[in-house]
Chain A
Amino acid sequence: MLTSSFPELDYSDLIACDLPDPGTLSRTLRIALLSDAATQQFVPILTTLLARAAIRAQIYEGGFDAIEIEAYNPDSGLYRFDPEVVIILNCVQALRSRFGTRKNSPDQFVNESLNRVTGVWKQLQTHSQAAIIQSTFALPYERTFGNLDLKVPQSFYAIVSSLNMRIAEAARDRPGVLINDVEYVASWTGKRFFFDDRYWDLWKSFCALEHLPRVVQNIVDILVAQFGRSVKCVICDLDNTMWGGVIGDDGVDGIKLNAHGEGEAFYRLQLFLKELRRRGILLAVCSKNEESNAKAPFLEHPDCILKLSDFVAFVANWNDKTSNIQAIQQELNIGLDSMVLLDDNPFERNLVRATVPDILVPELPDDPSEYVRFLSELNLLEVSSFSAEDLERSDLYTREAERRQAAAGYGCVEDFMRSLNMVLEIAKFDEFHLRRIAQLFQRSNQFNLTTQRHTEAACRSMMRSPELIPLYAKLSDRLGKHGLIAIVVLEVTGSDLAIRDWLMSCRVLARGVEQQMMNQVFAIARKLKVSRVIGEYIPTTKNGMVRDFFAKFGFQPIPEQGYEQGITRWQHEPAHYLEQPTYITTEMRFGEKE
């Protein structure tokens, strides 16, 4: 769960505590529990731990060992309950019995067990919209071959390992299936503590009761990431967080940061952060320091894993952390509740907690060697999905930062713009880009002349309309690709070429993209030999930035009566249009046939 300190996970305390007033819980979640172990003990723990995350649980317990019975019958109580989430808890104890009485080969056993699991998923996804949270199997403690168990494919240990891997692989292709890695929890706890065979024998308990809350917390973490907040950015302090010592006093040679001894704790934290960055988590620095001192280790220290380019924001000054963090938040434009601050200083932690609402500020252990383990145990970084887009996002922010740094090094903006070697690729809508096009129609508010929220289906039909010329543009430059950042939909009406939609991502403002696009619009107008290019501006509360868009290009207002409030219409003759100077090369890709 996304909390700043360890959740209290004592079993007896949890079952004894009173539930909070349901009115204080912001969301209700309908959850079905299906298991081949007993689920009675799960219910109060799950209810209590979800309440801590402000979620009210409505829980449906499937019959004992009735996973298939519930899933395969379209009229089962499960489907009548209409769950939003189905939690499937398969236990290794039940698997062990089946393995012991198997009639087939170990290979067949793995396939058959996998098919049971995926068969249930298919049924659930056929009859319900619920997200599925599938457990892995805790690896068994018994070894029939000793250390050879892992090497011998027919050992139960090897079978369970293989089955876990196959379940994870099968889940990769199904976005609606999330993995509850019970094996991680079991090995974190320690196998000899995790299992209590007496409780299984007598009551079919999933594990020793005292460790049940950790299994449940793992599920809660998944639910919170799926239905609530998730972390996108980690902001780091520097002195005694990123390295040992104070850079301003000790200098690059004096700080503790290396692959052995006392400096290794910081080295290890940097390795961990580097992996997070590779995963798509944004990293930022917020430190009370002289900027040149703060940057020195990243530039000069031989054992500094992180480099300046790994950070999407680097703030080192003597302002208070609160305003610095707010500045970072505005720059990145992500919610405060998706940010985590790592700071060794308790004063700063408390200050930020008190003044920046929603940001997560975990306690840090006194001994830096425990930083990474502590952060892992908090499980701050739970996510419910991971895509190539996540990786791109991080790169995008980083390149934006490089762009700003590069801009600082040029004598004038023009020199810098020229050095970017920008290329604008303009093409007619195509199936491949439709999703992103529709997304831009839905999301663009500021640079949007008419704010028409066309759906993906509407965009698809534009492709077939003979009167319409629906265009998108992708920008790339020397530092990277920006992707699809602009849409212009033109319509030929009589002797006019009308601009129906014009919207752009604000990421690429002030680079000449709109000028270059307008040049192309008039190139098309001349090719079609139309007499006017006309356009319309429909004001909203957010698109004030383009109020004078047409006027800037020399369009004349069309004086007409009876316009709705604030709407303006504009016209321009192609012969009088002045080609706009830009630093962009254009590649047109919209011949008659693609």
Chain B
Amino acid sequence: MNSNDDEITERLTRVFRSVFREPDLIIQPEMTSADVENWDSLSHINLVAAVEKEFKIRFTTSEIMELKNVGDLDGIVHQKTRS
């Protein structure tokens, strides 16, 4: 992990904490909606919107569809912020 990775994870954590209203939430790559109490269909939409806003990126429809866990999300953010 380089400092860029740390920064992305930190910002992603902030977004998760705000959207799911859990100030102490620690995110893990294998974490899914089943692991977070407030992660329902409504907040999932809000999560996608908040991540897009935070990193000024735009997911494609299929990227959103294929998100399985936090690791997938983190991967796409890395890929889209690299260029």
Contacts and interface: CB of A to CB of B under 8 A. Distances in A.
Q: Do the two shown chains form a genuine complex with each other?
A: yes
Interface stretch (A96-104, A198-206, A274-282): A198-206
Contacts of B34: none
A199 B18 CA distance: 21
B53 A12 contact: yes
B49 A202 contact: no
Contact of B65 (A40, A41, A202): A202
Contacts of B61: 198, 201-202
B56 to A, nearest CB: 12
Contacts of A203: 41, 45
A321 B59 CA distance: 55
Interface size class of B (residues with CB under 8 A): 10 to 19
Interface residues of A, number: 14
B64 interface: yes
Given A12-B18, A16-B21, A210-B53, A205 B45 contact: yes
A198 B46 CA distance: 13
B50 interface: yes
A15 interface: yes
Contacts of A12: 18-19, 46, 49-50, 53
B18 A16 contact: yes
Nearest to A197: B61
Contacts of A16: 18-19, 21
Contacts of B46: 12, 15, 41, 209
Interface string B1-40: 0000000000000000011010000000000000000000
A14 to B, nearest CB: 11
A549 interface: no
Interface in A40-71: 40-41
A11 B61 CA distance: 21
B6 to A, nearest CB: 23
B73 to A, nearest CB: 15
Nearest to B43: A15
A40 B43 CA distance: 10
B63 to A, nearest CB: 10
Contact of A199 (B19, B41, B45, B65): B45
Interface in A181-219: 198-199, 201-203, 205, 209-210
B80 to A, nearest CB: 15
Interface in B34-79: 41-42, 45-46, 49-50, 53, 59-61, 64-65
Contacts of A41: 42, 45-46
A210 B19 contact: no
26 contacts: A12-B18, A12-B19, A12-B46, A12-B49, A12-B53, A15-B19, A15-B46, A16-B19, A16-B21, A40-B41, A40-B42, A41-B42, A41-B45, A198-B59, A198-B60, A198-B61, A199-B45, A199-B49, A202-B45, A202-B61, A202-B64, A209-B45, A209-B46, A209-B49, A210-B49, A210-B53
Interface of B: 18-19, 21, 41-42, 45-46, 49-50, 53, 59-61, 64-65
Given A40-B42, A209-B45, A209-B46, 14 more contacts: A12-B46, A12-B53, A16-B18, A40-B41, A41-B42, A41-B46, A198-B60, A201-B61, A202-B45, A202-B64, A203-B45, A205-B45, A209-B49, A210-B49
